[in-house]
Amino acid sequence: MSLLTTTVGRRLMDGTARIFLAEMLFPLTALITTGYLTRQLGPQGYGLLALTLTTIIWIESAISSFFTKATIKFVGETDNWKPVGAMVIRLSLKMGVAAMVLVWMVAGPLSALLKEPDLAFYLRLCALDIPLLCVGQSYRNVLIGMGNYRAGAVARAGRWLFRMGLVVGLVQAGFSITGALLGVIGSSLAELLLSRWYLGEGMFVKPAPVSFPMQRYGALLFLSSICLIVFNGMDLFLLKILGGTATQAGIYSAAQSLSLLPGLFSWTFSSLLLATLSRQLADRQLDQARELARDGMRVTMFLIPVAAIIAGAAPEIVQIVFGAAFLPAGPLLALLIVGAVSNVMLMVSITIMTAAGLPARTVMFTAPLVLLGLVGHLVLIPRLGQQGAALVTVAVSSLGALAAGAGVYALWTVWPPVGTVIRSLAVGLVVGTVSLWWPTPGVLVFAKLVLLGIISVVGYWWIGEFRHREIAAVRSFLGRKAQPAQVG
């Protein structure tokens, strides 16, 4: 069995491709937006913007995490999705408004703690984004749970395109950090309106009572996601609290922004994997679900060469995107991209546990990350600064991925194929070394990244990673695509 040789697998990969391509607009538009903002605002101004957005994103992610996976799971398990969707959307609006008011109240004390007086105003302004994003995400989660991946992709693509246009336009008009934040708010409104247009009206009508364990699943997945959010964001905040400057925070945040690609794939793939596994388990197709989970873990191994290529070219990428002032972000990116790939394996593993009806285990594998990360940062940041923060993030992420993978093995006797792991490490070593020792000036670095990506795929084929049925499926797909162009 393979993701490319079964109907379920092809639907999963097709949906993943659609939504991932939409999500890919984020790093592409973010490169333009971030490159523009770093030059317009400078390291200090960009650092202040990063602190504001990181704080709000933490809160938004926490609220969304209460609903996202639970919504996708329960919508995916039933044909009568409207009561579930209506309840989730109404509740997400209430929680979003409550969180917005809370940010308004704590913005002043937090600004004083971080010793940035202007931060309070920016936090209160950006808090307007919270209810808009939460409701828009809930609409989109219902679409994904229903299997309407095209609509979910369009809504997400609209968000990133509107975000780039609004942020650049408003900052160029002279609104500086305030303009950037207004652009973010406008993009959340655009995603909400697009998702609502696809899903239709009636979601704010009080639904009939529905019986499903949303509170239990939501609470446990909320705790799990909170742990991940705190762990993945604590390095930036502890760097600042433990004596770092706004400039150092801006440089570290720049490196973080370039390590987002695996995370985008992680969110996309794990969400669709959860919807698919939930349907299979609801239909009592346990063997098929186990095979799908194994192939899902196999797919994550293909990100190892991607991380190696980016790590090798990190200084060149940073210079072309952010400018010479951000060159210290290069070594940080080389480390953080490795941690980002580890996080993908962690996310896929806890997604499998969620689909299996064991949300409590997701907390078991994420809560220790916070404690380990906190201790590590307190020890290494005062000694090594930004480098110490990145080292701790990578080490703890890798431990978490190994532990969660072992948890899936204990649950379903499922593990990434050993051959795939070995071949991925071999291909990653080759392309990573070439990326490191092949200097490329200016924008040619992007050509190098694409070429090494192609070489990675060819390398996998050459050493026998791709199965015959997978190759045949790809050839069949390409043949069908080419067929309309043929003249009878």
- pLDDT higher than threshold 90 for residue 390: yes
Q: For residues 60-66, give the mean pLDDT.
A: 79
pLDDT of residue 454: 94
The CA-to-CA distance between both ends of the chain, in Å, stands at 35
pLDDT, one tens digit per residue, over 26-51 is 767 877 887 788 788 877 788 888 88
Alpha helices in 356-443 (DSSP H): 359-384, 386-412, 418-437
Residue 62 has pLDDT above 90, yes or no: no
- Give the tens place of pLDDT for each residue, 225-271: 788 888 988 888 888 888 777 788 888 888 887 887 787 777 777 77
Query: What average pLDDT is seen over the chain?
Result: 83
Region 411-436: mean pLDDT is 92
Choose among 224, 199, 194: nearest CA to 70.
224
**Residue 419 is encoded by which pair of tokens?**
């051959």
Measured in whole angstroms, the distance separating CA 254 from the mean position of its chain's CA atoms is: 16
Q: Are 124 and 104 in contact (CB under 8 A)?
A: yes
Q: How confident is the model at residue 473 (pLDDT cuts 50, 70, 90)?
A: low
Measured CA to CA in angstroms, residue 296 lies from 9, 400, 461 at distances of: 10, 18, 19
Res. 487 pLDDT band, cuts 50 70 90: very low
More confident site: 487 or 196: 196
- Is the four-CA dihedral 56, 59, 62, 68 of positive or negative sign? negative
Once rounded to an integer, what is the mean pLDDT over residues 211-238?
77
At residue 488, the pLDDT reads: 35
Angle at 396 between CA 376 and CA 368, to 5 degrees: 85
pLDDT of 453 strictly over 90: yes
Q: Which pLDDT score is estimated for 123?
A: 93
Least confident of 3-12, 72-81, 260-269, 446-455: 3-12
pTM confidence score = 0.70
d(CA 153, CA 191): 10
